[in-house]
């Protein structure tokens, strides 16, 4: 049920609608960014302007439905239903159907240049892989379904130790429906294994071999789909191979080695809206190649691509962050790159750990540039999803980590 708009004189009405139609109405209204009450109002107005004898809608088993309509509209609608010889439920169902037909689902907005997000930190154990996977899943979720999202203003509430997760504010939004490629760029193969996939064999092709100019077949042949219904064939993974431990050595002899990752992935870019690179905990040549891949290309809009840094609310993350940003700034200056920080994600956060956690989070929040774009709690669902080798947003789609990852995906999309 929606609530009356501010300054709008409306009255609550109660009727029934088929369950499937209620679901479609909720989704379609969210897709168009309007309240359900305004969609129903527009549908009734359109229905009243049409002739009688509209196709009947099957309303057997209709469920209770309530909304708020302008004063007197419901009474006028009841009179029209009587005059046309249809029940209120039938008339309301026809009105909603008219609105749905006049307002089809909007097309997914595809980026002109593929979005490239490089997820990094040279410190291990901060959860880069979980953030890469979670953001990719959030980007790929079905746009014809509603998914729970933690609204951005709730982020500040996490600074208060007494805030309960249940008190944070949420909204249900359509999925983003983007075509996403997750690139496991870490020789430890964590991303590959966490999603239940098999690392590439040492005796076959791999991303390392493509970057070193030693590949025998197309890189696209190595890509694997994440087969979960909620992603609708839109979420793919380029698995890792343990030969990536040798990547820095191989890159030392490659021409224009900073562009090696871009050259390798270029043939795949036309098939995707977003490519996320899960970087290894390294400051070597492979990191240079990843940073170069995230640069802004000529004609690319600001914020379309860039670096996402994952940290924890503790002191060692701050030290690692300084080393990482020093390397990135050196590369920017040496190669005259246009490179953006998409933001900082504070991962594994738990205010119950006391002053170290809360004061560290405040320090990250105070940084401002780059700004904190997400705070992800240290909760059991992520660990459980890893154990059962399932995507988090499929395993526990409404857990606090899932709704926070959806907010993060929207914040940087």
> What average pLDDT does this structure show over 161-166?
46
> What average pLDDT does this structure show over 54-76?
94
167 pLDDT more than 50: no
pTM exceeds 0.85, yes or no: yes
168 pLDDT more than 80: no
Quick one: which of 282, 278, 257, 307 has its CA closest to 115?
307
Does the N-terminal peptide bond of residue 341 adopt cis geometry, omega within 30 degrees of 0?
Answer: no
Cα 167 to Cα 173, 178, 328, 338, distances in angstroms:
19, 30, 39, 40
153 pLDDT more than 70: no
Cα torsion for 190, 138, 196, 193, to the nearest 10°?
0
Q: What's the confidence (pLDDT) of residue 4?
A: 66
> What average pLDDT does this structure show over 175-180?
97
Domain with CATH 3.40.50.300 in the chain: 115-411
- Please name the fold of domain 10-102: Arc Repressor Mutant (1.10.1220)
> Do 342 and 307 contact (CB within 8 A), yes or no?
yes
Residue scoring higher pLDDT (195 or 52) = 195
- pLDDT-derived band at 333 (thresholds 50, 70, 90) equals very high
Spatial distance between the Cα atoms of 322 and 122, rounded to a whole number of angstroms: 10
Spatial distance between the Cα atoms of 214 and 197, rounded to a whole number of angstroms: 24
Residue 141 backbone zone (phi > 0: left; psi -120 to 50: alpha; other: beta):
beta
> Do 143 and 153 contact (CB within 8 A), yes or no?
no
Spatial distance between the Cα atoms of 195 and 281, rounded to a whole number of angstroms: 20
Give, as one character, the DSSP assignment of residue 69: E
Spatial distance between the Cα atoms of 47 and 94, rounded to a whole number of angstroms: 7
Residue scoring higher pLDDT (73 or 3) = 73
Domain with CATH 1.10.1220 in the chain: 10-102
**Kindly report the CA angle at 275 between 246 and 313, in degrees rounded to 5?**
80
Parallel, antiparallel, or unpaired: how do β-strands 115-120 and 306-312 relate? parallel
Q: How far is CA 171 from the centre of its chain?
A: 14
> Do 125 and 347 contact (CB within 8 A), yes or no?
no
The residues facing 224 across adjacent strands are: 237
> What average pLDDT does this structure show over 195-204?
96
Q: What's the confidence (pLDDT) of residue 166?
A: 44
Contacts of 92 (CB under 8 A, 6+ apart): 15, 16, 17, 40, 44, 65, 77
Mean pLDDT of the chain: 91
Quick one: which of 25, 29, 31, 33 has its CA closest to 107?
31
3-state helix, strand, coil in the chain (%, to 5): 45, 15, 35
> Do 237 and 182 contact (CB within 8 A), yes or no?
yes
The residues facing 277 across adjacent strands are: 118, 183
pLDDT tens-digit profile of 229-278? 999 999 999 999 999 999 999 998 889 999 999 999 999 999 999 999 99
- pLDDT-derived band at 355 (thresholds 50, 70, 90) equals confident
Which tokens hold the place of 146? 């509603």
| CATH code for the domain defined by 115-411 | 3.40.50.300
71 pLDDT more than 80: yes
Contacts of 242 (CB under 8 A, 6+ apart): 187, 189, 199, 202
The residue written with tokens 């343990």 in the block is 242
Cα 399 to Cα 99, 126, 395, 402, distances in angstroms:
33, 20, 9, 5
Residue scoring higher pLDDT (160 or 19) = 19
> Do 371 and 334 contact (CB within 8 A), yes or no?
no
- The pLDDT > 90 percentage for the chain reads 76
- pLDDT-derived band at 152 (thresholds 50, 70, 90) equals low
131 pLDDT more than 90: yes
The residue written with tokens 């270029």 in the block is 266
> Do 184 and 238 contact (CB within 8 A), yes or no?
yes
Q: What's the confidence (pLDDT) of residue 344?
A: 95
pLDDT tens-digit profile of 1-58? 455 655 568 999 999 999 999 999 999 999 999 999 999 999 999 999 998 789 999 9
pLDDT tens-digit profile of 266-312? 999 999 999 999 998 888 899 999 999 999 999 999 999 999 999 99
């Amino acid at each position: 049920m929606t609530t009356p708009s501010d300054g709008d004189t409306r009255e609550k009405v109660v009727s029934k609608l088929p369950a499937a139609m209620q679901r479609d109405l909720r989704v379609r209204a969210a897709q168009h960014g309007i309240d359900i009450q305004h969609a129903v109002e527009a549908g009734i107005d359109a229905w009243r302007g049409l002739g009688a004898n509209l196709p009947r809608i099957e309303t057997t088993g209709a469920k209770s439905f309530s909304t708020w309509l302008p004063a007197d509209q419901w009474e006028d609608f009841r009179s029209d239903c009587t005059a046309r010889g249809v029940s209120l439920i039938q008339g309301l169902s026809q009105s909603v159907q008219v609105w749905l037909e006049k307002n089809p689902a909007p097309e997914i907005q595809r980026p002109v240049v593929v979005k490239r997000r490089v997820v990094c930190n040279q410190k291990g154990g901060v959860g880069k892989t979980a953030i890469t996977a979670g953001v990719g899943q959030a980007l790929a979720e079905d746009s014809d379904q509603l998914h729970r999202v933690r609204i951005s203003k709730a982020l500040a509430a996490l600074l208060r130790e007494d805030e309960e997760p249940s008190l944070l504010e949420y909204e249900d939004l359509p999925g983003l429906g983007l075509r996403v490629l997750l690139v496991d760029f870490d020789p430890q193969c964590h991303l590959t294994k966490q999603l239940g996939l098999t690392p590439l064999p040492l005796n076959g092709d791999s991303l390392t071999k493509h970057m070193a100019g030693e590949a025998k077949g197309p890189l696209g042949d190595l890509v694997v789909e994440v087969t979960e219904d909620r992603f609708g064939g839109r979420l793919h993974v380029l698995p890792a191979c343990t030969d990536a431990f040798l990547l820095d050595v191989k890159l030392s002899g490659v021409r224009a080695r900073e562009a090696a990752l871009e050259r390798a992935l270029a043939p795949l870019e036309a098939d995707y809206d977003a490519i996320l690179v899960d970087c290894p905990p390294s400051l070597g040549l492979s990191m240079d190649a990843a940073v170069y891949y995230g640069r802004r290309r000529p004609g690319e809009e600001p914020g379309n691509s860039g670096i996402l840094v994952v940290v924890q609310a503790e002191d060692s993350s701050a030290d690692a962050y300084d080393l990482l940003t020093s390397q990135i700034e050196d590369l920017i200056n040496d190669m005259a790159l246009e490179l953006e920080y998409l933001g900082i994600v504070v991962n594994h956060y738990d205010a119950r750990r006391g002053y170290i956690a809360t004061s560290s989070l405040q320090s990250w929040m105070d940084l401002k540039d780059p700004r904190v774009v997400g705070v992800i709690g240290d909760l059991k669902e992520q660990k459980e999803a890893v154990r059962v080798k399932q995507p988090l947003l499929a395993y526990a789609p409404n857990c606090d980590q899932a709704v926070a990852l959806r907010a993060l995906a929207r914040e940087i999309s």
